[in-house]
Structure 1
Amino acid sequence: MRWWWCPGSLVHLLRCILLRSCSRRRRCRLPLWFTKRQAYLKLMLQSLFYNSLTDSDVVFDSLFEPMFWTVDYLTRWFGMVFVFLVVLLTSSILVIAYVVLLPLVLNTYSPPWIAWHLCYGHWNLIMIAFHYYKATKTSPGYPPVEKNDIPFVSVCKKCVTPKPARTHHCGICNRCILKMDHHCPWLNNCVGHFNHRYFFSFCLFMTLGCLYCSISGRNLFIDAYNALETDYVTPAPPYTFKERMINKSIIYMWVLTSTVAVALGALTTWHALLISRGETSIEKHTNSKEKHRMAKMGQVYKNPFDYGRLHNWKVFFGVEKKSHWVTRVLLPSGHSPLGDGLTWDVFPLKKDPMPV
């Protein structure tokens, strides 16, 4: 007998089909409130891992966010330590220059060379001290909170306030900075619209001062180094303790100033190139990305804040006439920068900001 004609087998088959259909209906007929919450939780879980704007930079920032937060926290609390180190190291060089080098200059150099060293050295020192003080004490500039009619291009996600052009949020200062370049721990301050000139001038004159000490003290360094070598080799040292300390001081000064001249000189050169292109350190990265993006579309990107090399320097130093190259660049000057940091001229206007 074939099995499908067996009444018992046919009943058993029908019963299995009914049980399967009933189980499927029961799985599909879950409470509506449960299915809604299940779908909401599923969507929320997916939102944690999916973003149409996600790229390698976003993933990198997310993974290293704890490290960035730690660096910001330490930089915020150790800012005064860095400022103290700058003052301490600079003061140590000044003590050596006045106590050790100045008597040598007065006793061995000719009057014209003495006048040169006294004039240039003190001018360089005044420029360093003035610009460092102004860079640390001058506010970089903040967007006004009370005004609602300020021009803005976006909204800060952390401050939840309007952001004018060239404004960025500083995680260390925990607020938005006008024309932010970077946060400098050696100043314990942000570098922005109102103190960018002071920062660059300090770097420039500090580099020139270190080069001056390194070049003028080269022969003294060689003599001091050879003297110490002889002192260590000779069983009976012919040098007194005072002479030994003078030689060590000269070596310390030359090594420190030469190292700072190389490191700070590279930083100063980098910022000089950015100023020539009308960029800040942050805008350098954003402009590079924009150039790459527009190049894929066959277009050319132009920096809207680039007025040309000469005019970029005029805008940066606030030079409005020829005499300002001396009174505002080569001499200490506390003048404010051009503009308020909220609005900026752009290149399509073809406008010369300062027809000097």
Structure 2
Amino acid sequence: MMEQNYIIDHKSIHQVHPRTMSGSVRYCNRCVLVKPDRAHHCSICARCVLKMDHHCPWVNNCVCFYNYKFFMLFLGYALLYCLFIMATCLPSFIRFWKMYQEYKYAHCDRMIEKGSVSKICMEMINGDFGNAATTGRYHVVFAFFVALMFAISLGSLFGYHCYLVMNNRTTLEAFRAPMFRGGADKNGFSIGAFNNFKEVFGNSPNLWLVPVFTSFGDGIVYPTPSQEEESESLLSSERWERWGERARPFDERESSSFDEL
């Protein structure tokens, strides 16, 4: 009865599209409520999260409807910062690498015997290769490789999430396509690449790169390509008419396996 009253009180906003494998509405046993579209229960946050993408340990929070734009900007700006560090360290890295290669393969003494002492070799002979200034270049080389490592990982993650944004999917939906009345459809929420982008970043290009919330919607109802055909109010669902107050509007066995998603 409590679930039905909850739906009646919110009948104007609950147009639920995704279903369980059995075709019933998705219900969270832990939060004791019907899951809105694209919402999933996070076992770490201990609550249902709107448009949950994943739980990120780096920010100690769920990446979801309210902070997905900020997460994308975080990845993009962090990647640019790593590329900036690599660009500033590159000249010192190249110089250090040339000195190291000449020291390793030419051995300076052999070059002296041949009378072909280079400027770099003279710096090694004079102790420049091991003095404090050169020791500082070790830190530059270390910073270059650390920035390179993070740039590769951030670039891969940022590129993957750009793909998800353009296709209007979450990480969970990419691994398991949402189930609709007509079956599973990985593109069930895709309304075109540019519209998908604006759903996350908003309609104003001036605010796309600014960390302010501009995403469309309320996190509960999402447009679908075939919204008119698939839209069904829970208040008028046949399951309410068939079960009434005798049972919950979901299959306990089927929904329990999806409760963690």
Tell me by how many angstroms 1:220 deviates: 2.0
1:276 aligned partner: 166
Q: Secondary structure at the match of 2:163?
A: helix
Q: Contact 2:36/2:221 (CA < 8 Å) preserved in 1?
A: yes
2:142 aligned partner: 252
Query: TM-score, normalized by length of structure 1?
Result: 0.48
Tell me by how many angstroms 1:308 deviates: 0.5
1:303 aligned partner: 187
Match of 1:339 among 212, 217, 231: 217
2:202 aligned partner: 318
Trace 1:98-177 onto structure 2 (pairs within 5 A): 148-149=9-10, 151=14, 153-177=25-49
Larger RCO, structures 1/2 (Cα 8 Å, 6+ apart): 2
Tell me by how many angstroms 1:347 deviates: 1.2
Q: Contact 1:225/1:247 (CA < 8 Å) preserved in 2?
A: no
Indicate how the Cα distance of structure 1 residues 236 and 283 shifts in structure 2: closer, same or farther if over 3 A, else same: same
Tell me by how many angstroms 1:155 deviates: 1.3
1:189 aligned partner: 61
Q: Contact 2:173/2:186 (CA < 8 Å) preserved in 1?
A: no
Q: Secondary structure at the match of 1:204?
A: helix
Note the aligned Cα RMSD (angstroms): 3.1
1:225 aligned partner: 97
Indicate how the Cα distance of structure 1 residues 180 and 247 shifts in structure 2: closer, same or farther if over 3 A, else same: same
Distance 1:311 1:162 in 2: 27
Distance 1:177 1:216 in 2: 41
2:241 aligned partner: none
Distance 1:224 1:273 in 2: 38
Structure 1 residue identity aligned to 2:69: R
Greater radius of gyration (CA):
1
1:314-339 deviation line (CA, Å, top 9, x unaligned): 111012xxxx22x2123x24134211
Indicate how the Cα distance of structure 1 residues 229 and 247 shifts in structure 2: closer, same or farther if over 3 A, else same: farther
Indicate how the Cα distance of structure 1 residues 305 and 311 shifts in structure 2: closer, same or farther if over 3 A, else same: same
Matched, 1:328 2:200: no
Distance 2:131 2:48 in 1: 55
1:245-280 deviation line (CA, Å, top 9, x unaligned): 420121011101111111110111111111111100
Identity of aligned residues (%): 29
Tell me by how many angstroms 1:348 deviates: 1.8
**Which has a greater percent of helix?**
1
2:157 aligned partner: 267
Tell me by how many angstroms 1:211 deviates: 2.1
Structure 1 residue identity aligned to 2:40: H
Query: TM-score, normalized by length of structure 2?
Result: 0.64
Q: Secondary structure at the match of 1:183?
A: strand
Tell me by how many angstroms 1:214 deviates: 2.0
Tell me by how many angstroms 1:303 deviates: 2.5
Unaligned runs of 5+ in 2: 1-5, 17-24, 108-123, 229-261
2:231 aligned partner: none
User: Number of residue pairs matched?
Assistant: 193
2:52 aligned partner: 180
Tell me by how many angstroms 1:197 deviates: 0.5
Distance 1:226 1:172 in 2: 50
Tell me by how many angstroms 1:173 deviates: 1.1
Distance 2:88 2:128 in 1: 27
Trace 1:191-206 onto structure 2 (pairs within 5 A): 191-206=63-78
Indicate how the Cα distance of structure 1 residues 229 and 155 shifts in structure 2: closer, same or farther if over 3 A, else same: same
Q: Contact 2:191/2:223 (CA < 8 Å) preserved in 1?
A: no
Structure 2 residue identity aligned to 1:178: L
Q: Secondary structure at the match of 1:176?
A: strand
